[in-house]
Structure 1
């Protein structure tokens, strides 16, 4: 009998390894469960990118590829709500990620800016951006929310929420303003470094708490998003100007942008009521 996803989740948060794994050294057990929990937290990302890899560029059933990806994203989101993998409060936060990401996409792809473009036709393009694009930002928020539950995350020495919110808003604003008044990302990164220098995230791969600097988590998540961005551009989901003739790797500088975006995403998630209760704010 194949276990349901609810059964899998119950086992993952139950802190007891499968009997046949109990004979393995602790390091291997924890490493294995860490990987499984990470994969499970990436459920939305995995399902969505499976569609990215498998939907032909010509589309399906007469529907352009971007529109098919929108249908897939909506279907995944509806399923996660129906099966209670996400609560309505979490869904509202994910909608906020979608809106914030979509607004950024509209600005960045506008003729005056032209940072990147969506070259293919779609019926669901608005201001040159296919509606599925916001789900790529929402996927990051979904991962953070799912990881919080599966790893029983807690944060120690989090900065005051108003300070975190201010830095997050400045980070978001810089994505727009750096085209006009200069790029201040490294100044903002320095602010984030000082703000979160003492912050530690506690997580539970199996039955014992482990910890790591919260800043390291931001950098690592940003790195994997940068990898996903390279994959997406390779499949021509969108293209940077230097990728129009032939694909080229996304500049490593984008890693810093994604890491800062993760800071902003984390700040939004940290204000969800059931998560905020698990955050210790530094004195």
Structure 2
């Protein structure tokens, strides 16, 4: 019974952490069937996303520090979207006032929602990392993974090389988290794959609801290629590396401050 209670408690904490992306999915679902006159759908989604962000801050479900990380991801996501849409990887076929280079501004919130989940899960589950590699290796590798999403259109796709480097760099890294008073841990690589898989499921739901469209879905919706799991896993890894690096730096600074005070 204790294990079942812990499982439900973990599911509850995860659900709370997923509130931002869940509300975005709800918005996509509602606006798929409800049409508001005179306001393009993409623009309405943007307004709702902004309202959700304000609500998350007002209700203290998110902190101001977490908002800074979310804004960073918004910019990173929009940059990737602008390039990918330009290259024809996917498209946003509907008209909107708030489209730049064929990309509606609400799309950045989908990346921001991943950051929101990571930050909130980190706080609620009291995540602690063991064996986190040096910044000398994590930052260049994260940058290389992000750039590979763009450069593979021109040169060789280094996805699997980068994946191998990830295993080499992080195979000794463990994620410690708490559910209630119980402490658990799992390999960081396993958490990357699990999150990537669930985001792939979310991607199928999002394309079904018309959030964006892949070229093979122009004639009608079809299942997103299973190969996208590797892409989403790498994207989540970059997200986790950024959040993890920021948390690591903050903890290090806090430790030095405490040491100075005690000294």
- TM-score calculated relative to the size of structure 1: 0.86
Equivalence map 1:19-58=2 (5 Å):
25-56=1-32
Question: Is the Cα–Cα contact under 8 Å of residues 57 and 65 in structure 1 kept in the other structure?
Answer: no
CA distance in structure 1 between the aligned counterparts of 2:118 and 2:196, rounded to whole angstroms: 12
Q: CA deviation at 1:260?
A: 0.7
Question: Is the Cα–Cα contact under 8 Å of residues 269 and 275 in structure 1 kept in the other structure?
Answer: no
Equivalent residue for 1:248?
222
What SS is found at the alignment partner of 1:69? Answer: helix
Q: Kindly indicate whether residue 43 of structure 2 is the aligned counterpart of residue 67 of structure 1.
A: yes
Equivalence map 1:1-283=2 (5 Å):
25-56=1-32, 59-110=35-86, 113-273=87-247, 276-277=250-251
Q: CA deviation at 1:134?
A: 0.5
Question: Is the Cα–Cα contact under 8 Å of residues 133 and 170 in structure 2 kept in the other structure?
Answer: yes
Q: CA deviation at 1:48?
A: 1.0
CA distance in structure 1 between the aligned counterparts of 2:128 and 2:250, rounded to whole angstroms: 9
Question: Is the Cα–Cα contact under 8 Å of residues 32 and 210 in structure 2 kept in the other structure?
Answer: no
What SS is found at the alignment partner of 1:158? Answer: coil
CA distance in structure 2 between the aligned counterparts of 1:95 and 1:179, rounded to whole angstroms: 27
CA distance in structure 1 between the aligned counterparts of 2:210 and 2:26, rounded to whole angstroms: 15
CA distance in structure 1 between the aligned counterparts of 2:112 and 2:209, rounded to whole angstroms: 20
CA distance in structure 2 between the aligned counterparts of 1:195 and 1:252, rounded to whole angstroms: 25
What SS is found at the alignment partner of 1:249? Answer: coil
Write out per-residue CA displacement over residues 26-72 of structure 1, whole angstroms, 9 at most, x where no aligned residue.
11011010110110000101111110111136742421111111011
- TM-score calculated relative to the size of structure 2: 0.92
CA distance in structure 1 between the aligned counterparts of 2:74 and 2:105, rounded to whole angstroms: 9
Q: CA deviation at 1:84?
A: 2.5
CA distance in structure 2 between the aligned counterparts of 1:229 and 1:195, rounded to whole angstroms: 28
What SS is found at the alignment partner of 2:210? Answer: coil
CA distance in structure 2 between the aligned counterparts of 1:84 and 1:235, rounded to whole angstroms: 29
Runs of 4+ deviating beyond 4 Å: 273-276
CA distance in structure 2 between the aligned counterparts of 1:33 and 1:247, rounded to whole angstroms: 35
Unaligned stretches of 5+ residues in structure 2: 253-263
> How many residues are matched?
253
CA RMSD of aligned residues (A): 1.7
CA distance in structure 2 between the aligned counterparts of 1:273 and 1:262, rounded to whole angstroms: 16
Q: CA deviation at 1:133?
A: 0.2
Distance 1:275 1:148, change over 3 A: farther
Question: Is the Cα–Cα contact under 8 Å of residues 32 and 209 in structure 2 kept in the other structure?
Answer: no
Structure with the higher helix share, 1 or 2: 2
What SS is found at the alignment partner of 2:212? Answer: coil
What SS is found at the alignment partner of 2:23? Answer: helix
